[in-house]
Amino acid sequence: MTTAIVLVDVERTAMPHFGEELAAVEGVAEAMSVSGEWDFVAIVRVEETGRLSNLVSGEIGGLPGVLRTHTMVAFETFTD
Protein backbone atom coordinates (compact mmCIF):
# COMPACT_ATOMS: atom_id res chain seq x y z
CA MET A 1 0.00 0.00 0.00
CA THR A 2 1.32 3.44 -0.94
CA THR A 3 0.30 6.49 1.08
CA ALA A 4 0.65 10.06 -0.14
CA ILE A 5 -0.23 13.43 1.29
CA VAL A 6 -1.63 15.78 -1.35
CA LEU A 7 -1.85 19.51 -0.69
CA VAL A 8 -4.42 21.29 -2.85
CA ASP A 9 -4.88 24.99 -3.65
CA VAL A 10 -8.30 25.88 -5.08
CA GLU A 11 -10.11 28.92 -6.41
CA ARG A 12 -12.17 30.72 -3.78
CA THR A 13 -15.39 29.97 -5.66
CA ALA A 14 -14.71 26.22 -5.31
CA MET A 15 -14.19 26.31 -1.53
CA PRO A 16 -17.78 25.60 -0.38
CA HIS A 17 -18.12 22.27 -2.22
CA PHE A 18 -14.55 21.15 -2.88
CA GLY A 19 -14.11 19.05 0.27
CA GLU A 20 -16.98 16.77 -0.64
CA GLU A 21 -15.73 16.40 -4.22
CA LEU A 22 -12.22 15.60 -3.01
CA ALA A 23 -13.49 13.03 -0.50
CA ALA A 24 -15.47 11.29 -3.27
CA VAL A 25 -12.36 10.51 -5.33
CA GLU A 26 -11.56 6.80 -5.12
CA GLY A 27 -8.30 6.39 -3.23
CA VAL A 28 -8.76 9.46 -1.03
CA ALA A 29 -8.87 8.06 2.50
CA GLU A 30 -9.22 11.45 4.23
CA ALA A 31 -9.97 14.96 2.99
CA MET A 32 -9.55 18.05 5.17
CA SER A 33 -9.81 21.80 4.80
CA VAL A 34 -6.79 23.51 6.36
CA SER A 35 -5.43 26.95 7.12
CA GLY A 36 -2.26 28.40 5.67
CA GLU A 37 -0.82 28.39 2.16
CA TRP A 38 -2.89 25.40 1.04
CA ASP A 39 -6.66 25.03 1.18
CA PHE A 40 -7.14 21.25 1.42
CA VAL A 41 -5.15 18.14 2.34
CA ALA A 42 -5.93 14.68 1.01
CA ILE A 43 -4.51 11.50 2.48
CA VAL A 44 -4.35 9.11 -0.45
CA ARG A 45 -3.90 5.35 -0.20
CA VAL A 46 -3.48 3.15 -3.28
CA GLU A 47 -2.55 -0.50 -3.73
CA GLU A 48 -0.25 0.14 -6.70
CA THR A 49 2.20 3.04 -6.83
CA GLY A 50 1.52 3.43 -10.56
CA ARG A 51 -2.06 4.48 -9.78
CA LEU A 52 -0.83 7.47 -7.78
CA SER A 53 0.20 9.57 -10.78
CA ASN A 54 -3.19 9.38 -12.48
CA LEU A 55 -5.05 9.85 -9.22
CA VAL A 56 -3.19 13.06 -8.32
CA SER A 57 -2.66 14.59 -11.76
CA GLY A 58 -5.79 13.36 -13.48
CA GLU A 59 -8.49 12.93 -10.89
CA ILE A 60 -7.63 15.36 -8.08
CA GLY A 61 -5.92 17.86 -10.40
CA GLY A 62 -8.87 17.66 -12.76
CA LEU A 63 -11.48 18.62 -10.18
CA PRO A 64 -13.12 21.99 -10.90
CA GLY A 65 -11.31 24.89 -9.24
CA VAL A 66 -7.94 23.23 -8.62
CA LEU A 67 -5.11 25.72 -9.09
CA ARG A 68 -2.18 23.51 -8.03
CA THR A 69 -1.24 20.45 -6.02
CA HIS A 70 1.84 19.33 -4.11
CA THR A 71 2.34 15.63 -3.37
CA MET A 72 4.49 13.96 -0.73
CA VAL A 73 4.84 10.17 -0.83
CA ALA A 74 5.21 8.53 2.57
CA PHE A 75 8.18 6.21 3.10
CA GLU A 76 7.14 4.78 6.48
CA THR A 77 4.10 5.02 8.74
CA PHE A 78 4.69 5.00 12.50
CA THR A 79 1.08 5.06 13.71
CA ASP A 80 -1.99 2.91 13.04
In angstroms, the CA 80 to CA 78 distance is 7
In angstroms, the CA 41 to CA 73 distance is 13
pLDDT over threshold 90, residue 26 = yes
**What's the number of domains the chain is made of?**
1
Strand-strand pairing, 2-10 and 28-33: unpaired
The CATH number that applies at residue 39 is: 3.30.70.920
**Alpha helices in the chain, H assignment, sequence order:** 15-23, 49-53
Q: Has residue 19 been placed in a domain?
A: yes
Q: Has residue 80 been placed in a domain?
A: no
Q: Has residue 64 been placed in a domain?
A: yes
Report pLDDT for 80.
Answer: 75
Taking residues 26-48, report their average pLDDT: 96
Q: Has residue 78 been placed in a domain?
A: no
Q: Has residue 13 been placed in a domain?
A: yes
